[in-house]
Each structure stands twice: as structure tokens, then as C-alpha cells.
Amino acid sequence: MAEGSNYDFLFKVVLIGDSGVGKSNLLSRFTRNEFNLESKSTIGVEFATRSINVDGKTVKAQIWDTAGQERYRAITSAYYRGAVGALLVYDIAKHATYVNVTRWLKELRDHADSNIVIMLVGNKSDLKHLRAVPTEEAKAFSTENGLSFIETSALDASNVEAAFQNILTDIYRIVSSKSLEQSADPIKPPTETLNVSTAEPAQNQGGKCC
């Protein structure tokens, strides 16, 4: 694709989470509804991109939406390759989608670069009266697992901008301080922080891979 060189950094960010939590919605808000659905030829939907400014540098975000493919549990792993950030979205009005966050985290830890920056996003904060996941609980969970956390509403657009801005800034900070280890091998055992409610603590002994 015609990527102009008008950016300083290009970050790949994946959008994951259960079906129906509003991933595409967030994306269309953030990219101002500029899906490349319009693209003429056979390419189909491109990942959406948008550039933002961090510390005077232009950071271009490529956001890969997995919406609609949640039924393929296996497929998302293909999306993780080369991703430096992940927005893990759940629906604050549907507790099941929050419970599944554990599964998604596990998958990320299994398949993505161990340095990937993860942000937990509680979407649909406009549905206050239907809230099923208390903000405090999610916040505590995030701290415990080393994630950043934000609640958004794609409907009234609140915090959508901030969510992306935050994660891209975080990534930028990491990249500019020490460049992300471009280890060819993304495999690391799950870290100890993955102590989540129902799931048994992940096994964490076992050698770093060669």
C-alpha cells in the first residue's frame, strides 16, 4: 500500500476481545470512519490507519481489527505477529466478555511478543444503568496484570481518542527509551502476573527458548 513516509514511527496495534464488544465501533470512531472499504480493487478491507502526534513526532498507527473472526479462535494468532500494542476490549454491560479477558490475555502471552503493550478497554461506558463490571474491579485487575486501563464509549465518543492516544504514547515511550527487542522468537512463557481468578496459575518454569 502507499504508505507515505510522513511519519516517524509506525506501530501495529491489534484490537481483540469478544464478539459484540464494539471493536469495530471503537476503530471507526478513532479513524473517523475511514475504513478502506472504499478501496477499489480486490484488496478488501485494509487495516485502518491514523497518525497522531506524540512529543512532536508523528506516530502512525496501523490498527488491525479482528471483528467478526472471534468465532475462529485460532485465527487471531496470525494477527499478533509484529504487533507492538493490543487493545483488549470488553463490554462493561456484559460480564461474560470481562471474564473472557483472561483467555485473551493468555492468548496474547502465548502468541504475541512478550513486550507487547496491552490496554484493557471497558467499552460502552454510556450504558451506565446496565453496568455489570465495576470500574474498580477492572482497574485492580489491570494493575495486577500490568495493563493500562480505560473505559470508553464509542457511542458518545468519550475516551476513544484517549485510549488510542495513551497506548500509542506508551508504545512510543518504550520504543524511544529502549527499542523493542526485535527478537525473532516471540515465545516466552507466560509471566507470573497472569494470576487470574478461575484459571490455574500458568506454569512458568521452563526455559527461555533458545
Q: What are phi and psi of 110, to 5 degrees?
A: -75, -35
Identify the residue among 5, 42, 179, 198 touching another protein (CB under 8 A): 42
- Which of these segments, 2-10, 137-145, 156-164, 202-210, binds another protein (CB under 8 A)? 202-210
The helix (H) or strand (E) run that includes residue 19 is none
Distance of CA 64 to the CA centre of its chain: 9
Spatial separation of the C-alpha atoms in residues 18 and 56, rounded to whole Å: 35
Q: Is 101 helix (H, G, I), strand (E, B) or coil?
A: helix
Q: Alpha-carbon torsion 201, 22, 94, 144, what sign?
A: positive
The reply on whether position 125 binds another protein by CB under 8 A is no
Identify the residue among 11, 17, 22, 138 touching another protein (CB under 8 A): 22
Q: Minimum Å distance from CB 73 to another protein?
A: 5
Grid look-up 527509551 returns 177
Per CB under 8 A, contacts with another protein among 63-102 are: 64-69, 71-75, 77-79
Q: What is the dihedral of CA 178, 183, 188, 194, to 10 degrees?
A: 30
Spatial separation of the C-alpha atoms in residues 154 and 25, rounded to whole Å: 6
- # of chain residues touching another protein (CB under 8 A): 52
The reply on whether position 28 binds another protein by CB under 8 A is yes
The reply on whether position 37 binds another protein by CB under 8 A is yes
The reply on whether position 107 binds another protein by CB under 8 A is yes
The reply on whether position 139 binds another protein by CB under 8 A is no
Q: Which residues bind another protein (CB under 8 A)?
A: 1, 20, 22, 24-25, 27-28, 33, 35, 37-47, 64-69, 71-75, 77-79, 103, 106-107, 110-111, 185-187, 189-190, 199-200, 202-203, 206-207, 209-210
